[in-house]
Chains A and B, each alone.
Chain A
């Protein structure tokens, strides 16, 4: 019994601790009313098996006060749904909480709660729910409220990531691979008799097999391989020689030579080489395309802002879509809602959390009539504001009008592949024409044979495959270490980096906030005195002190003065208080720099101090140890009150820049790039978006990859922050692997060329050489990548 008492009660729904025993049904404890009501809904509908598959499958419901009335607006509804007719509507929601089999089970049982839902299917990896329902019996708003009631609130945002991602993947690559693989298999089968030798009686088969092979090559060249021709042509028109040009040339020559050989009964042609080449190339394309369905790299302010906002018109409140919000509208912003446009505060007590915009972690108090910039999050009661600028013109969103956001992403840095393929093509063409002109005077037939053979054998199949296979293996390794890259190019960009710029709040500090510890024994009276003095100040540290002390009686303050950068002096009743830095309170400078301290003296007696330990992420030391091979900078939207603590990490004062606006950050990155720096920016909030976009490699740090993170090239889970130096080293390793595999493929090409220039390339040699080199490259790159990852302890 004693054991049972000692045990903490854990919420049956979400697994959090229960602070009170207030919420209990059928001997099941809940942490809050929200969790309890979810349980009630489920038990009313006989859906309690939900709790059998996993323990505590739910999300905590302690902080939800969502309003979905904007979903009654037809213009918003039509944006969200996939399909609708007279009776049925189909809609796809992104539900971040989907994480276990219980979620899956419950969400596919929706029609037991409401029969108007005809069909629901979960896509677990994408965290999406596809629902078909009868909109005459159940409105979209009711459906969302139903989902919210059972604890699965869909994330509805202006920027519809779901639809964009679903449409982006329709390039028929899988079908193309299927066709190429099908033809490759059949052509191999039909080519075997030729290689093993056909007797004189069977010569008619030779011809038949030849034509059949050409028939199989047709879909390979014109369907599966058409992407290479298109790409090569487009690049030629832009006067760029990329790797697709020699590939397309190789495919074309292979096909032409095969048709020529077969129709002239010259030989069997190269149809198996052709099909194999296209098949392997497409496989390379396929592995390169790694998609993270649950992560979006393209988010901007629109996915951070709400879909709709409530405005007051003619004394009534109604929701309107954000796009219709205009100057002069009076809007209502409730607790935890985001202010979508610059506005003047008209009514209510505004305490705005600007952490996303400025990086400042402590909410700011605003007075009536003050302009509040968009992007802040109201904490506390509802406030009324008048819009002074449309959404797209506000202080924060203006950042997106910067040229960094309209610039094309592609031409940031050239990959190794792009650099090499230029020279490769030129050399290839030179050799091909040289051998043609060498043989032409003596033997025309042999000249053309040599010319085509060079183009066939030197077709940079292995070169084209080395990058995708190495990079996809590297991406897999990063992924296991909770570092998600947008695409394979990013690995090479990372290897080029020489300058690292970091944001402060949320990036090198954890989002959990700072902890206050008190190094003094205080009586209740002293606590009340300190509380009353601090509550007058808007300094962040004072705010943290009075929050820490909790609510006390506020005493009458007789005299009060605040010395900027030092502290406060106050007289309360008969007591005189000094609260602030060591010089002010103790009269001497402080030595220890490990934490910010606020000292307290009452009536000339030193009482003690409050220490504020900022929680820096693990591994900050390792990252700052990267100097001098990397240049390091810190950009912070904050005031410089942490400067002394950060000196531990950033030795030089010039490395730290405080009080930086989003535009300042972007400009700073630009100035580094102007002097030739390859800049990696690490940030977390909307305020960093400009800098992330401008930098050569933007990494967003987040504690939850499903939450909002600004548009970036890579997303790093906060838990893996300490591995960043390893990632940087590993990216250099992978580039080395690509270089080595390029050398290997060159060796194969040399061997092949030595046959080809003589004009004596037999189809069998080509058919062996091509797959052999491909398999060597694939196995070398994947094994080498895994090996180096193991050495770097990333695997």
Chain B
């Protein structure tokens, strides 16, 4: 049953990784604006490509 020690260690490590990921997302401003992306997705990409590009 000592394998439990290892497994719990793994699970805590995994959970910490996710927590870290959340902190990173929060810090890099990914959750600052939760509304605008929902509108942005409705906008089509331009079909006509500007000739000067």
Contact with A along B16-37 (1 / 0, CB 8 A): 0001001100100001110110
Check if A178 sits within 8 Å of B35, measured CB to CB: no
Give the residues in chain A near B48, CB-CB below 8 Å: 46
Interface range on chain B: under 10, 10 to 19, 20 to 34, or 35 or more?
20 to 34
Binary contact readout A75-114 vs B (1 if CB under 8 angstroms, 0 otherwise): 0000000000000000000000000010011001000100
Does the CB pair A202–B1 fall under 8 Å? yes
A433 to B4, CA, bound (A): 42
In the complex, whether A53 has a CB less than 8 A from a CB of chain B is: yes
Distance between B38 CB and nearest chain A CB, rounded to angstroms: 9
* A175 interfacial contact with B, CB 8 Å: yes
Provide the residues of chain B in CB contact with A190, threshold 8 Å. Answer: 8
| B10 interface residue per 8 A CB criterion | no
Answer whether A178 and B50 are a contact pair too, CB < 8 Å, given A101-B42, A124-B35, A124-B36. Answer: no
With A123-B33, A124-B35, A125-B33: A104-B43 Cβ-Cβ less than 8 Å: yes
Q: Is the CB of B33 within 8 A of A175?
A: no
B33 touches A124 (CB 8 A): yes
Q: Which residues of the other chain, B, contact A726 by a CB distance below 8 angstroms?
A: none
Asked if B36 contacts A105 (CB within 8 A), the reply is no
Q: How far is the CB of A115 from chain B (nearest CB, A)?
A: 10
A182: Cβ under 8 A from any B Cβ: yes
Q: For the complex, is A332 an interface residue (Cβ under 8 Å from B)? A: no
Asked if A105 and B26 make an inter-chain contact with CB atoms under 8 angstroms apart, the answer reads no
**B26 and A175 form a contact (CB under 8 A):** yes
Contact A124 B22 (CB under 8 A): no
Residues of B within 8 A of A126 (CB): 33
Structural contact, A112 and B50, CB atoms closer than 8 A: yes
Give chain B residues whose Cβ lies under 8 Å from the Cβ of A201: 1
Count of residues in A whose CB is under 8 Å from the partner chain: 27
Report the Cα distance A104→B32, complex, angstroms. 17
Interface assignment of A192: CB less than 8 Å from any CB of chain B: no
With a CB–CB cut-off of 8 A, which chain B residues contact A122?
A: 36
Q: How far is the CB of A211 from chain B (nearest CB, A)?
A: 12
Residues of chain B with a CB closer than 8 A to A202's CB: 1
Find chain B residues with CB under 8 A from A205 CB.
1, 4
Collect the chain B residues with CB atoms within 8 Å of residue A430's CB. Answer: none
Interchain CA distance A53-B35 in the complex, whole Å: 18
Contact B5 A178 (CB under 8 A): no
A62 within 8 A of B: no
A409 within 8 A of B: no
Would A179 and B19 be within 8 Å (CB), given that A125-B35, A174-B26 are in contact?
yes
Contact with B along A113-135 (1 / 0, CB 8 A): 00000000111111000000000
The residue on A at minimum CB distance from B22 is: A178
Given known A104-B36, A112-B50, A208-B5, contact A174–B31 (CB-CB < 8 A): yes
A178 to B16: give the CA distance in the assembly, Å.
Answer: 11
Query: Which partner residue on chain A sits nearest B37 by CB separation?
Result: A124
Q: Are A53 and B43 in contact (CB under 8 A)?
A: yes
Cβ B4 vs Cβ A104 within 8 A? no
Chain A, 232-284, CB within 8 A of any chain B CB: none
Complexed CA–CA distance, A414 and B10 (Å)? 50
- In the complex the two chains form, is A123's CB within 8 Å of B36's CB? yes
Roughly how many angstroms separate A673 CA and B41 CA in the complex, as a whole number? Answer: 53
Is A101 a contact of B33 with CB atoms below 8 Å?
A: no
Interface residues of A in 350-408 (CB under 8 A from B): none
**Interface status of A155 (Cβ within 8 A of chain B):** no
Name the residue of chain B whose CB is nearest to the CB of A122.
Answer: B36
A123's closest neighbor in chain B, by CB? B33
Contacts of A185 in B (CB 8 A): 15
Residue in A closest to B31 when the chains form the complex, CB atoms: A174
Q: Quick check: is A186 within 8 A (CB to CB) of the other chain?
A: yes
Q: Is the CB of B15 within 8 A of A175?
A: no
**Whole-angstrom distance between the Cβ of A217 and the nearest chain B Cβ:** 14
With a CB–CB cut-off of 8 A, which chain B residues contact A750? none
Name which residue of chain B comes closest to A108, CB basis: B40
A45 to chain B, nearest CB (A): 9
The closest CB in chain B to the CB of A185 belongs to B15
Contact: A104 with B19, CB < 8 Å? no
Nearest CB on A from B16, distance (A): 8
Closest to A178 in B: B22
A212 contacts chain B at the CB level, 8 A cutoff: yes
Taking the closest CB of chain B, its distance from the CB of A174, in whole angstroms, is 6
- B15 contacts across to A, CB distance below 8 A: 182, 185-186
CA distance A178 to B24 in the complex (A): 12
Q: Which chain B residues lie closer than 8 Å to A112 at the CB level?
A: 50
Chain B residue numbers with a CB within 8 Å of A779 are none
Check A49 for interface membership: any CB of B closer than 8 A: yes
Contacts of A101 in B (CB 8 A): 39, 42-43
- Cα separation A175 to B48 with both chains bound (whole Å): 44
Q: Which residues of A contact B44 (CB under 8 A)?
A: 49
A175 touches which of B23, B32, B42 (Cβ 8 Å):
B23
> How far is B22's CA from A53's CA once the two chains are assembled, in angstroms?
34
Q: Interface 1/0s, chain A 169-183, versus B by CB < 8 A? A: 000001100110010
Contacts of A178 in B (CB 8 A): 19, 22-23, 26
Nearest-CB distance from B27 to chain A (Å)?
9
Is B36's CB under 8 angstroms from A125's CB? yes
Instruction: List A590-638 residues whose CB lies under 8 Å from chain B.
Output: none
A185 to B14, CA, bound (A): 13
CB distance from A11 to the nearest CB of B (A): 23
Give A76 to B36 CA distance when docked, in angstroms.
30
CA distance A104 to B37 in the complex (A): 10
A126–B35 Cα gap in the complex (Å)?
A: 10
Q: Which of B1, B19, B36, B44 has the most CB of A within 10 A?
A: B36
With both chains docked as a complex, state the minimum distance between the C-beta of A95 and any C-beta of chain B, in angstroms.
Answer: 13
Interface residues of A in 739-776 (CB under 8 A from B): none
A355 to B43, CA, bound (A): 42
A185 to B19, CA, bound (A): 12
Q: Chain A residue with minimal CB distance to B2?
A: A204
A22 to B27 CA separation, bound complex (whole angstroms): 53
21 contacts between A and B (CB under 8 A): A46-B50, A49-B44, A49-B46, A53-B42, A101-B42, A101-B43, A104-B43, A105-B43, A108-B40, A121-B36, A123-B32, A123-B36, A124-B33, A125-B35, A126-B33, A178-B26, A186-B15, A201-B1, A202-B1, A205-B4, A212-B8
Q: Give A contacts to B, CB under 8 Å.
A: 46, 49, 53, 101, 104-105, 108, 112, 121-126, 174-175, 178-179, 182, 185-186, 190, 201-202, 205, 208, 212
- A105-B43, A124-B36, A212-B8 known; 13 new pairs, CB 8 Å cut-off, are A104-B36, A108-B40, A122-B36, A125-B33, A178-B19, A178-B22, A178-B23, A178-B26, A182-B15, A182-B19, A186-B12, A190-B8, A212-B12
Q: Which 9 A-B residue pairs are closest in the complex by CB-CB distance?
A: A124-B36, A123-B33, A125-B35, A105-B43, A182-B19, A101-B39, A178-B22, A124-B35, A104-B39
